[in-house]
Structure 1
Amino acid sequence: MSHQSISLLKNLISRITTGSRIQTRSVTYKTRPVTVIHGDVTNEVEQVMDAMHAPVYFETYDIIKGKYESFATGNGGIDTEEQSAFECRYNNVDIVVIRENTEGENAVREHQVVPGGVIQSFKVTMTKFWSDRIAKFAFEYAQSNKRKKVTAVHNKQKDEIFMKLADAFFLESSQEVAKMYPNITYDEICIANCCLQLVEKPERFDVIVTQDDLCGNIVSNIAAGVAGGSIMPGGHFGCEHAVFEQVESVGIGDNPVALLMYSVMMLRYLKLLLSADRLETAVKRAISEGKCGNNSTTTQDVVDAVIANLD
């Protein structure tokens, strides 16, 4: 990996993590623009931001006319041990899933060999550069957030590798980067066993990284379901921009808890750390009071409960 790439990744990681607990935090922030792609409950997020006087302003964007490219997705959740107001099958689960966004299935390279009969897909496109980048991203995230272990997920089965060259790039990169972080435990697991372990012993995982976007999508949705389903937030990180949303394919419709928690991720990405801490604390208080886990609770009820718990 080039020095330029490492420098870029360190700069990116520093923007999305809270960093050291003893860092100095300024109470004066420059107002930052936030682009909103309107959904069912994005207006409620704006309500909370206004109530807490977060130093951001909102602008709308037509997603049909725009284009955005991200290279990493980070799906994080609320620790099941902390959120006892929600009924969870497991305790002590706190997993972050990081996956590649621009390669693997997202490469989408295919053509029709025989009209109306045969379609050939070249969806597994991997490069050493991107393998280095996603591995470095995962370990930088783990180190910055005081995580203890990174697990690389691959398609290896026993002594065979289905995608020998693609998996070789990814595992080689992960092993090389792991040597640079001796304080972080590194291990590897095949996708089939990973899915099984997520259901049986999810507490064994800390940070999971996948290069294959299909594997990453499967793993992140299982992890989200284990830890709380539709309340899980997620983010997509590019070199200069980031997009935050509810973890896809879980739950029915948008959940205000997920949207508020990915707003916390957004505020930390913008280095608005005091605002991020205030919002996260308010959401957790509302959850602990049982005001977010009732089926009869409306979206506005959740918003009102969070606003009432703002310091």
Structure 2
Amino acid sequence: MNTYHITVLKGDGIGPEIVEEAMKTLKKAGEKYGFSMEFREALLGGSAIDATGVPLPQETIDCCKAADSTLLGAVGGPKWDNQPGNNRPEAGLLGIRGALGLFANLRPAVIFPQLREASPLKSKIIGENLDILIVRELTGGIYFGERGRGEKNGNIYAYDTEKYSVSEIRRIARKGFEMAMKRNKKLCSVDKANVLESSRLWRKTVADMAEEYPEVELTNLYVDNCAMQLVCNPKQFDVIVTSNIFGDILSDEASMISGSIGMLASASLGAGKSGLYEPVHGSAPDIAGTGKANPLATILSGAMMLRYSLEEPEAAEAIESAVTKALDHARTADIASPQLPQVSCKEMGELVRKFI
């Protein structure tokens, strides 16, 4: 029997509640499919600041590097808003991605059949089976570029630098092409090549790589056009590959198209099999401890872990199927339906595990 060692970063706000349900669900899947899970908790974000003074202790980095994979809840909250920028909870999140070399963020935007009416878009626009995968570059670009402030002629200014190398673009583009090969062999590369020099290099590099994947249909869109197309014709997309800042914005837009950000999982991957898995939503401190949190995005992130890092696809499919069945019987507050009972975070987790 395989035993997988998982580092758990529960984080802040609703993080501990939703991660707890994901852990129990992973254990249940292991019992059914012949593997076991050993979890080790570590600190990240605001909880780490409170305990150690910094959002990303070295002990957490070491623990994540030693694990087969890492499961994360959410970080941040108004309690730490007065921290300097380099010591805010979000700095810990950026730091762990960099420390683990996780350069690719996979964000699926999927509409569950039961939640089609929750989408702000009309049914005729989203179609029957909307399923988009956004592949976002995660450790480069403007979020990691040179930044600072200065003063000239009494006028204070600030700057942030968007910078990409060919090697950085190639490795994220390769992830995009690989994902496209596993799906419908359609890849849309998103940039702003009509304005930005970094985007012109991006577009040329992706075009050069396309020769290695002749079966994949490659298209290019400017980011503003892509944002518009996601709203007016999302069915045209299968896999989207883009830069850090563009991916951050477009993936949140796609998440709302799907009806609820509380349903969306994500995976952050590097060169090896290990990864960091987390829900797309934030820490929601206003509902922490009330039982109103939706654990399904975190549970689905656990399913992504089973698929991409632990090579347990049957268990991953079982969890995803169980989530779909659970939606037929009950809902959490964020996806409430007048026809179904409203349940707590813990009760939703228990319902999912019932169907595994």
Q: Look up the match of 2:40.
A: 59
Give TM-score, length-normalised by structure 1: 0.81
Give TM-score, length-normalised by structure 2: 0.71
Question: More deviation in 96-105 or 120-129?
Answer: 120-129
Correspondences of 1:14-163 after superposition (within 5 Å): 29-38=1-10, 39=15, 40-52=17-29, 53=31, 55-63=36-44, 64-65=56-57, 66=61, 67-68=95-96, 69=98, 70-78=102-110, 80=111, 82-87=112-117, 88=119, 89=121, 90-91=126-127, 92-114=129-151, 117-143=155-181, 145-156=182-193, 161-163=194-196
Structure 1 CA distance for aligned equivalents of residues 318 and 191 of structure 2: 38
Structure 2 CA distance for aligned equivalents of residues 304 and 130 of structure 1: 42
**Is 1:302 matched up with 2:348?**
yes
Q: Look up the match of 1:286.
A: 326
Tell me if the contact between 1:224 and 1:250 (Cα under 8 Å) persists in the aligned partners. no
Q: Secondary structure at the match of 1:49?
A: helix
Cα deviations by residue, 1:59-108 (Å, 9 ceiling, x for unpaired): 11122203522211110133x2x523452333331100011111112214
The alpha-carbon deviation at position 58 of structure 1 amounts to: 0.8
Percent identical residues: 23
Structure 2 CA distance for aligned equivalents of residues 193 and 172 of structure 1: 19
**Is 1:244 matched up with 2:277?**
yes
The alpha-carbon deviation at position 284 of structure 1 amounts to: 1.4
Q: Secondary structure at the match of 2:171?
A: helix
Cα deviations by residue, 1:134-192 (Å, 9 ceiling, x for unpaired): 1111001111x222210011113xxxx2112x112211111112222222211001111
Q: Secondary structure at the match of 1:84?
A: helix
Aligned pair in 2 of structure 1 residues 131, 225: CA closer, same or farther (>3 Å)? same
Q: Secondary structure at the match of 1:74?
A: strand
Structure 2 CA distance for aligned equivalents of residues 201 and 215 of structure 1: 19
The alpha-carbon deviation at position 289 of structure 1 amounts to: 3.6
Q: Secondary structure at the match of 2:336?
A: coil
The alpha-carbon deviation at position 305 of structure 1 amounts to: 1.3
2:260 corresponds to which letter in structure 1?
G
Structure 1 CA distance for aligned equivalents of residues 116 and 28 of structure 2: 26
Structure 1 CA distance for aligned equivalents of residues 43 and 283 of structure 2: 25
Q: Secondary structure at the match of 1:286?
A: helix
Question: More deviation in 197-206 or 120-129?
Answer: 120-129
Q: Secondary structure at the match of 1:95?
A: strand
Cα deviations by residue, 1:191-221 (Å, 9 ceiling, x for unpaired): 111111101111111100102x111111100
Question: More deviation in 242-251 or 100-109?
Answer: 242-251
Structure 2 CA distance for aligned equivalents of residues 214 and 202 of structure 1: 20
Q: Look up the match of 2:316.
A: 276
Question: More deviation in 290-299 or 258-267?
Answer: 290-299
Cα deviations by residue, 1:222-279 (Å, 9 ceiling, x for unpaired): 1111013321111111224311111146988753111111111011121122221221
Q: Which has the higher helix share?
A: 2
The alpha-carbon deviation at position 55 of structure 1 amounts to: 2.4
Q: Secondary structure at the match of 2:306?
A: helix
Structure 2 CA distance for aligned equivalents of residues 86 and 263 of structure 1: 23
Which of 295, 298, 303 is the matching residue for 1:256? 295
Q: Look up the match of 2:240.
A: 208
Q: Look up the match of 1:25.
A: none
Q: Look up the match of 1:26.
A: none
**Is 1:229 matched up with 2:260?**
yes
Structure 2 CA distance for aligned equivalents of residues 294 and 122 of structure 1: 41
1:168 corresponds to which letter in structure 2?
R
2:151 corresponds to which letter in structure 1?
V
Structure 1 CA distance for aligned equivalents of residues 158 and 226 of structure 2: 29
Q: Secondary structure at the match of 2:109?
A: coil
1:267 corresponds to which letter in structure 2?
L
Q: Look up the match of 1:7.
A: none
Q: Look up the match of 1:20.
A: none
Structure 1 gap ranges (5+) = 1-28
Question: More deviation in 229-238 or 62-71?
Answer: 62-71
1:197 corresponds to which letter in structure 2?
Q
Question: More deviation in 199-208 or 101-110?
Answer: 101-110
Structure 1 CA distance for aligned equivalents of residues 158 and 315 of structure 2: 49
Question: More deviation in 43-52 or 289-298?
Answer: 289-298
Paired positions, count: 273
The alpha-carbon deviation at position 124 of structure 1 amounts to: 0.3
Structure 2 gap ranges (5+) = 45-55, 62-94, 288-292
Structure 2 CA distance for aligned equivalents of residues 45 and 304 of structure 1: 10
1:155 corresponds to which letter in structure 2?
K
Tell me if the contact between 1:85 and 1:290 (Cα under 8 Å) persists in the aligned partners. no
